[in-house]
Structure 1
């Protein structure tokens, strides 16, 4: 039995360790991928701190990592269309027995030397896109892309607000710029995050604690207010604040995850202005190949998104850096 290194999270104790585990063997219609790069996401941090708990995990431990890119090392029986040596990106989840499961949450992910994947969850990766940039496309880029294009259905020249300029929010700013939203108003309490938003294409970056926030948004939008607001922070106060900045028939899209209650302070105003609150999670199956094509074609550039690359052995260090925001990271990458 061959072994490999993997970063395993023991769910009952929330303990992350680097272990030697059996190297997976691909079954029917599966492939084994040699991991080239794996992203570290705030969702991984929340799994470790107990904020999130896997809903469908079998057993008490899981290899983390839902953002994965690498090279096919082995194909299983009945696997067609793929061959060893091909560069690939792995979808962040899979559908099994009618349930949507998340890689690195409900089943083993890519914080390891090798990752197992169903053949229909792979996307071919052009040589023009490095593994480090490709790995973040499923989730860090595809989740805001889905929120913008599918859930919110943002159209050109619509005024939008983005609360929370972390690993997903900063890509939302970049993608909103790409689809022609205007103006794009970023809101974050951290000065470094606000500057990052401007660097990625925001027209205005505001501090949520500012006493004139709503007035500044009205001024920037020609008194239209926001047609769409996105919560990438997953903070109840953010949601309440964003609702106050919405235009009539405006939409608030909830992307950031929280287990706290969702409240509407002024129900009469909410109904009178015909506001909507829309939940969002992940992305459709076509999101990742769309983004790969746009990056390969030069329409999108994710090189600025990679703050640092660390060895797999430093997974715990990467988690701490993301949790404490040391160095204001956009995305940290693990390389086995």
Structure 2
């Protein structure tokens, strides 16, 4: 196996923290009448307990399962509020013991309309990684490459968190049964590179917020995305750039020592289902199903296929519910 393919496993550094990220919400309109406006208006001090389950299958390997529980808390009031993730802990044994606890999660600073103003807490995690790289005696250039990848992955993952909870829905007005088409961005699983997408967002129906409830206070929103073929060439260039950056960071290779690579296949399809209260976007359930395929080719070597299927289900229980 070439050194490139031995290094590819470390792409999780840039990719496993992220799922599919998309554009911000406002950008579609719907007819009047039964059209439903979606607006971020979490009540002051809202605390939500979250239970998350992930199942991921890569190529022909056995599925990997992981479970997490954590708490979302909206802190502060006025012009800026912080959305804080805390008490994150696994609720099932890790697939491999060396995985350890999840890294600290940065906080999102939100404006009065729910807009993401900045991210706080990334420096702490980056500093920890820098100290670890230094303790291993790695060259300074390689240390810098590693910490840059960590910073980029954390920023990407935090922005995604805001997108799936707020950004992609806030400001939309949707008529049940009709879809809004728009352009978006997503992240290639495992590799962590960006790709342009075409999205279809729809409000399927009014539903109970929780199983067994009778009142239909929530809506079921669905966002489907796939790669925008007009941006495919740019997407493959970005993916190769990410692969080479990780190889340089992980193995200390110079540019001239990197193998010649081609992306011979790139596919990514995702469906996100969100059950939330439309007048506040207080979340109750999210389910994300993603299917991706990347095929990489080295000269004089068999192509390497990364076929990844994943499903994430998150259940949100607001305090007092």
Q: Structure 1 length as normaliser, TM-score?
A: 0.22
Q: Which has the higher contact order (CA 8 A, sep 6+)?
A: 2
Instruction: Write 1 or 2 for the structure with the bigger share of strand.
Output: 2
Q: Structure 2 length as normaliser, TM-score?
A: 0.23
